[in-house]
Every structure is written in structure tokens, then in C-alpha cells.
Structure 1
Amino acid sequence: MPLRLLRFGLGLARPDTRILPLPQELKPHYDVVIVGGGGHGLAAAYYLARQHGITNVAVLDKGYIGGGNTGRNTAIVRSNYLTDDGVRFYAESMRLYQTLSDELDINLMYSQRGHLTLAHTDASIRTMRWRAEVNKHLGVESELIGPDEVARICPQLNLSRDVRYPILGALSHPVGATVRHDAVAWGYARAAGRLGVAIHQGTEVVGFAIEGGRITAVETTRGRIGCGKVLIAVAGRSSLVCNMAGFRLPIRTVPLQACVSQPVKRFLDPIIVSGSLHCYIWQSQRGELVMGGATDPYPLYSTRSTLDFKEGLMAHMLELLPFLGEVKIMRQWAGLSDMTPDFAPVMGKTPLSNCYLTAGWGTWGFKATPASGKAMAACVADDRPPELIAPFRLDRFRELDQLGEAGAASVGH
């Protein structure tokens, strides 16, 4: 008999407290309605309550907490981007992540392990050097290293020159880390619930009542909710929900697949990424090899897995780490990626005066969760985007003022 069960039977242990408050009926009106119960929506709800005192907030999700892209990503956190605006934003997110376990009182399994973005061509070397200089200028630890240093950091890599894509160097980002993705969602959910935020799972938004250029009510499968403000944070469904609200997004939605291997003895410390080979790999605390690659080449609202993805990815994995040939794949899945024309997200106000948006996160939304949630909470509370996210406004596409973050996406899109 487990000791914990014995202690409970003898009255020496108390029952666990609930992660979320008991389910409630929908109230007729909320000051803020957040559409989407993933990391970004829950983080925004938490910071609205914690930092702005706005607790009459409802988070609505058609499924369950963290059941969308938050639970389908591969948990990598980094800030070695290409543009000044991108580097500043993701550096702030990493700073928040480093103390988030203490703040939310939950073990997020934050693990700093280093991040290597491999360069296989002269053009890649130039891009890595460019990124390194931008990063260092903005205080982010990042540098271009040669094959000898790559071999020292990760001796398991195949550094032979007799391959199709030899490793010529890498962008080293020593502070690159991983975080337990579902713990982030549940940590924010629990903290927000304790502050009075209402979290409604199994509640799908099916429309909006719009009058005078503002949303007056949200239509759900459980009834109508009056609202003061609305934040849309639905990841791969952003275009569909915004269409309900009457405005379009410059977004193309494509599946993004990933997989994990059976657990093996720990041998890989850093996160390894190859943009030329369209793949990345890191090893979890349980010994699983977490692997992924480029988005699928066609728009599709589907989270199905394909054999084509797996075959292509494994071919590239074996070029980098040939000894993995006998390792079995244990699980495969897919998420939905909202890709913008400039590979940067959309955050801030929308054409509706009381509607706000966080979308267009492509393949890098999870690492942005704390900074996005905090900034969007401030944007909703003050009706003005903070300086940190002002460059990511939706109007930049109409004004032809795009950001150009494609060079830092790490894998091909």
C-alpha cells in the first residue's frame, strides 16, 4: 500500500485541494471575456486579476484547459531572434519564465540546457552571425561558434564533412531552456482561479453581438454573455473566431507535427536545431527524444499525423545522429500554426473598439506565454498596447511596416 494512501486512511494527510474552482453557471455579464483557455488566455486572465485588479473575468474554452496548441508544442524557450523587437519581447518572456515556478507555486520543470542552431551553408553562417550580433547588442547571450566548439558542447552530433549537409558552425544560445507546457497552463489557471477568475471549459464561442463598432455580448453553446471587453486568444483558430467578429486576419493556418521516441538513457544535453534540415531534437527528463520539423506545406484545420512527416524527419535525424537508427517512435501528434507574412505575431487592438487579439504565433507561441499574457492584460486594462508589443500591431500589414522575423524561425516554413 502506498505510504501516502496509508497516511490518508489514518487521518494524517489532508485531501488535495482542487486545481480549479468548482464549475459555475455563466454569469450574465463579465468585465472581460477571454476566448481561449490556452497558455496565452490564462496568463492574460491571471495578470488582469493580479496586476490590474480586474477579477470579473471569464475564460472560455470549447475543450479543456491547455488542450489546444499549449498541450501540443515541444516546450522550447529561447530569445535568440533576429529583429530588435522580437529579441526584446522574447528576452522579457524568458526573464518571466525563470521565476514563474515560484510566482505560481507550481514546479514548471524549467530546465536551462543550451540551444544550438546548426549552420550547414555559408549563407546560414552569415545569418547566424547577424543574429548573434543583434542578440548581443540587446543583452541576450548568443554567439556564432565553429565545428570544434559544437563538438565540445554536443559530441554526439555527426560532424563528418562527407555528408550532404555538413555542420559548418552554429548559433549558440546557452540560456535556451525547456518548460513543462501543461504545467504552465494549469499553473496560470489555478492562480487565476484563486484570484476570482471564472474558467469555463466545454464552452464554445459561436458568435458575437456587435453594435456601434464594439462587441456587446458573446454567444456561446451555453448561452449569451454580456461583456465589457473581449480578448481573442485561440491560436490556430484565430482566423475563424475573428471572422465571427467581422474582421479578417493576414494569417495562413497550417498543421505542425512533432513526435517523441521511447525513453532511452540520457545522452543529449542541449537543444539541437537545423533550419536547413527542417528539424530539431532535445531529450526530456524522462529520456524521450522530442523531435519536430517544418510545418506542413498546405493550409489545413486538422491535427492529424502523417507518415510522410515521420519519414522525412527521421531521415534528417539520422544524418545528425546516426546511432538512433534502432530507437522506436512512441507517440506522434500535430498542432495548428497561424503563420503571418512576416513570421511575427499579432498583439493589441482590433478594428472593434473593445476587442483585443493575440494571434499569429506560428511555431513559437509557447515561449511567449508569460510576456504575451502580461502585455495583453495591460493592453486590455489600459486600452493601449504597452511599448513592448506596439510593433506587433495588426495595422502593420495595412501600413506595409512588417517586421521580417523569418530568419529566426529555426526550422523552415
Structure 2
Amino acid sequence: MYRTDQMGPGDEQPEHPDFLWRNPEPRRTYDVVIIGGGGHGLATAHYLAQNHGITNVAVLEKGWLAGGNMARNTTVIRSNYLWDESSAIYEHSLKLWEGLEEDLGYPILFSQRGVLNLAHSLQDVRDSVRRVEANRLNGIDAEWVGPDGVKELCPIVNISDDIRYPVLGATYQPRAGIAKHDYVAWGFARRADAAGIDIIQGCEVVGFETDGNRVTGVRTNRGTIGAGKVALCAAGHTSVLTDMLGIAVPVQSHPLQALVSELLEPVHPTVVMSNAVHVYVSQAHKGELVMGAGIDSYNGYGQRGAFHIIERQMAAAVELFPIFARAHLLRSWGGIVDVCPDASPIVGRTPYDNVFLNCGWGTGGFKATPGLGWCLAQTLAYDEPHPYIAPFSLDRFVTGALVDEHGAAAVAH
């Protein structure tokens, strides 16, 4: 994503990341091995140490730390999901976001600037009001605003009647916002390393050693590492790992493309999302417009942009924000998201007694980072799923107890 410094005047400048954690050689065995050194893996490691005193932990990352989806997302944080199960885990996460900078002792540039989800049809309006009421029942800040309210919250949105999809209103979550993804990863890594947890980069998993229903070791390009418990936190590459274990997981990996503009003066005060024109736009702390849309329809592992996607995103953005008509594209990229049939994650046990799964977050992984880490750490510590993640077990695809966020009538980013 936008890898350059995005801090404004007067912001604290964090230390260079090279000085924040060790680069140890892997030990022969660990109590817990976490595969995936992105936000979820690092947050799980941090809360294992902080909440449960478990520090004989290794985080294995095949590339560079947080170089996968953590570095390639668009940093939107919100909890205004429709279903009770989804809103519970995301609201838990949002509450942790609100104290995360103090917890980590590291600047993460968490900006609660609010999120608007636009409605462009009568059905959009009905679905949006339904979601607002569901949010309120779950104690989540949410409100419905009309076109004038949208204009008041974000003056640069085009609410005229003579556009393809006129704005009929929007849901608004004031506590939602954005954070600086790299700083979040560095903060978690710094605290985990200080607790004695080994963060091992350039360590690719190539197989597993098993004994009946248990995994006894993780085979890597740096040798075999013994493991008491294993947590799979590899996002879009999860199915590569589960295939090695013979576990059937209903996820598909899709590219998700996004882009940033050149640096602009501060003009965009919030986050605006639209499912009809299919774009979402925020402005980073340094000034770039950060834009994304939906996943590519095809499966793949490409981490680069494509012109037809860029063209569609820019056209949608200009329709909503005519002020950006002459803005220049700076760069684009792609992440790899893992998507489940019900657009909800899979977290919890697997057929192996000591292997735990965390995948299927689709485009919602970044916003869930601290909440998932907290809940998965407790699950690993006590061998029982935390109540917030219990509904997202793998066996729901057998029982039919799905958490179908496809019905949320909101861009799932």
C-alpha cells in the first residue's frame, strides 16, 4: 500500500522498524506456532503474551513481516455489520482499536472520522435503515442521514439529482475510521518481540509432520519446527496450508485491487462507501486519496492492479466526487483475499486436535485485527472458542448455521 510516511506536522515519528524486533533463528520447538506474520498473526501473538503469559511462541512469515494483505489493504475500520454475530466481533475489535495506541505504546494514527455507506435506491434505503436499527439493538453507534446530512458530513459528495445513481441518504457510524496499517503491524511486532516471542521472517511452510489427529511439527525452508499448537493465519494462502493437511475449507482466493492518488490538500473529512457505483474513498494522513472496490470475479494470487479495474474505480469516484476529476493516479496494487460462501470468517478448531483455523475474512480482515487476535489467543490458551468467534466455526457449513453477511447491503470493506 502507501508505504511512505504519512504522518502530519507535530505527529510523533516512530522509530525505524529495523530496530523494533529481533530476527532470531527458529528454535527446535515452541508451545504455539502461528503461521502468518500479518496483522492477525502478530495480534494473536501479542495477546497470548499479554493476556495469558504464553511467550514460547513463534510467528512464521514466508516473506517480510506484514507484507501480505496487511500492507495491501485500505485501512477502513468499522463495526456496523448487520448480523449479531458479526457486529459482536467487529465491535469488540473497534473498542480495542480505541485504546490500541496506548496498549502498544506506539503511534498507529487511528482516526475516528466516521464512515458513510451511501444508499442510491429505495431498496438501498430500506436495507440501510434495517441495518441501522440492528446496530442500535446491539449497542453500536449508527444513524440514518438524508442527502443533506450526507452533504453536511462530507461537503464534497455530489448529491445532485442528475447523476446515474443519486444519493438518497446513507448510514453513518461516527466511531468508525482508519489507521496506519504499517504502524499497527510494527506496534504489535514490537510488543510481541519484547515479550520474548520469536518473529521469524523468510520462513516458508512447506509441509507438516503429523501423529494421528495431531500436528507434531511444521516443516519449513529453515528446518522442521516442533509445535504444541498451530494457528493458521495466512489469509489468502490459507487453502495452500490446509491442502497440505488434507482439510477441506470452503474459501476462494481472489485479488482485491486498490489505488492511491497523488498528494492533495485535506479535502475529504470522512470515509465514503457506495455499493451501487462500487467504490470507497478516504484520504490518508499524508494526503493521498485511497480508493478500492469489490473483489475481482476470478480466482488468483496476483498482487498488481489492472487497467480495467482502475478505470472503473476512478469513474465511480469521479461520479461521487467531481472535485477529483483532475486528480492523478499515483500507484495501484492488489491483495489476496479469502472469501467464504456466507462472506463471514472461519475461526476455531479443525479435524486436528491442536490446529486452529483463522481465515475467510475476505475484505474485513484489517478492521478485525485486534479483536481477532484477542479472541484467538484466548481460544489457543484454553482450548475453547471465545464466545465472539464460536459462531464462525468450520462446522457451520455442515450444520447450516451460516452467518450470511451477503445480506448486509453494505460494501464489505
Q: Which amino acid aligns with 2:399?
A: E
Q: Which amino acid aligns with 2:61?
A: D
Which deviations, in whole Å up to 9, do the C-alpha atoms of 1:28-68 show, x marking residues without a partner? 11111000000000111111111111111010000011100
Provide the residue aligned with 2:189 in structure 1: 189
Alignment check: 8 A CA contact 1:278 1:412 kept:
no
Alignment check: 8 A CA contact 2:210 2:216 kept:
yes
Alignment check: 8 A CA contact 1:262 1:327 kept:
yes
Which deviations, in whole Å up to 9, do the C-alpha atoms of 1:270-298 show, x marking residues without a partner? 10000111110011111110000011011
Q: What is the CA–CA distance in structure 1 between the aligned matches of 2:240 and 2:18, rounded to whole Å?
A: 33
Q: Which amino acid aligns with 2:29?
A: H
1:130-209 matches, within 5 Å, as 130-209=130-209
Alignment check: 8 A CA contact 1:276 1:411 kept:
no
Which deviations, in whole Å up to 9, do the C-alpha atoms of 1:313-368 show, x marking residues without a partner? 11111110112111100010000111101101111111110000110010010000
Q: What is the CA–CA distance in structure 1 between the aligned matches of 2:126 and 2:207, rounded to whole Å?
A: 48
Matched residue of 1:99: which SS? Answer: helix
Provide the residue aligned with 1:54 in structure 2: 54
| Matching of residue 117 in structure 1 with residue 130 in structure 2 | no
Provide the residue aligned with 1:211 in structure 2: 211
Instruction: Please report how far the alpha carbon of residue 24 of structure 1 lies from its aligned counterpart in structure 2 after TM superposition.
Output: 2.1
Alignment check: 8 A CA contact 1:295 1:412 kept:
no
Matched residue of 1:186: which SS? Answer: helix
Between structure 1 and structure 2, the one with the greater Rg is: 1
Matched residue of 2:66: which SS? Answer: coil
Q: Which amino acid aligns with 1:173?
A: Q
Q: What is the CA–CA distance in structure 1 between the aligned matches of 2:142 and 2:36, rounded to whole Å?
A: 34
Alignment check: 8 A CA contact 1:61 1:202 kept:
yes
Q: Which amino acid aligns with 1:374?
A: W
Alignment check: 8 A CA contact 2:22 2:198 kept:
no
Q: What is the CA–CA distance in structure 1 between the aligned matches of 2:157 and 2:232, rounded to whole Å?
A: 42
Provide the residue aligned with 2:289 in structure 1: 289
| Matching of residue 324 in structure 1 with residue 291 in structure 2 | no
Provide the residue aligned with 1:78 in structure 2: 78
Instruction: Please report how far the alpha carbon of residue 164 of structure 1 lies from its aligned counterpart in structure 2 after TM superposition.
Output: 1.2
Q: Which amino acid aligns with 1:354?
A: N
Q: Which amino acid aligns with 1:249?
A: V
1:14-413 matches, within 5 Å, as 19-408=19-408, 410-411=410-411
Q: What is the CA–CA distance in structure 1 between the aligned matches of 2:79 and 2:37, rounded to whole Å?
A: 25
Matched residue of 1:219: which SS? Answer: strand
Q: What is the CA–CA distance in structure 2 between the aligned matches of 1:23 and 1:252, rounded to whole Å?
A: 32
Identity of matched residues, %:
45
1:372–1:172: structure 2 CA closer, same or farther, 3 Å change rule? Answer: same
When the two structures are superposed, what TM-score results if normalisation uses the length of structure 1? 0.94
Which deviations, in whole Å up to 9, do the C-alpha atoms of 1:200-253 show, x marking residues without a partner? 000000000111111010000000011100000001101111111220110111
Instruction: Please report how far the alpha carbon of residue 23 of structure 1 lies from its aligned counterpart in structure 2 after TM superposition.
Output: 2.3
Matched residue of 2:37: which SS? Answer: coil
Q: What is the CA–CA distance in structure 1 between the aligned matches of 2:200 and 2:412, rounded to whole Å?
A: 36
Alignment check: 8 A CA contact 1:19 1:190 kept:
no
Gaps of 5+ in 1: 1-14
| Equivalent pairs, count | 399
Range that drifts further, 19-28 or 224-233:
19-28
Q: What is the CA–CA distance in structure 2 between the aligned matches of 1:154 and 1:241, rounded to whole Å?
A: 44
Q: Which amino acid aligns with 1:348?
A: G
Q: What is the CA–CA distance in structure 1 between the aligned matches of 2:249 and 2:76, rounded to whole Å?
A: 27
Alignment check: 8 A CA contact 1:117 1:272 kept:
yes
Instruction: Please report how far the alpha carbon of residue 156 of structure 1 lies from its aligned counterpart in structure 2 after TM superposition.
Output: 1.0
Instruction: Please report how far the alpha carbon of residue 412 of structure 1 lies from its aligned counterpart in structure 2 after TM superposition.
Output: 7.3
Q: What is the CA–CA distance in structure 1 between the aligned matches of 2:237 and 2:98, rounded to whole Å?
A: 29
> Once superposed, what is the RMSD of the aligned Cα atoms?
1.4
Instruction: Please report how far the alpha carbon of residue 167 of structure 1 lies from its aligned counterpart in structure 2 after TM superposition.
Output: 0.4
1:123–1:409: structure 2 CA closer, same or farther, 3 Å change rule? Answer: closer
Q: Which amino acid aligns with 1:23?
A: N
Matched residue of 2:192: which SS? Answer: helix
Provide the residue aligned with 1:6 in structure 2: none
Q: What is the CA–CA distance in structure 2 between the aligned matches of 1:16 and 1:333, rounded to whole Å?
A: 24
Provide the residue aligned with 1:3 in structure 2: none
Gaps of 5+ in 2: 1-14
Q: Which amino acid aligns with 1:355?
A: V
Instruction: Please report how far the alpha carbon of residue 18 of structure 1 lies from its aligned counterpart in structure 2 after TM superposition.
Output: 5.8
Alignment check: 8 A CA contact 2:364 2:412 kept:
no
Q: What is the CA–CA distance in structure 1 between the aligned matches of 2:98 and 2:390, rounded to whole Å?
A: 24
Alignment check: 8 A CA contact 1:276 1:412 kept:
no
1:400–1:412: structure 2 CA closer, same or farther, 3 Å change rule? Answer: same
Range that drifts further, 188-197 or 147-156:
147-156
Matched residue of 1:266: which SS? Answer: coil
Q: What is the CA–CA distance in structure 2 between the aligned matches of 1:137 and 1:266, rounded to whole Å?
A: 35
Which deviations, in whole Å up to 9, do the C-alpha atoms of 1:139-166 show, x marking residues without a partner? 1110111111111111211111111100
Matched residue of 1:317: which SS? Answer: helix
Provide the residue aligned with 1:10 in structure 2: none
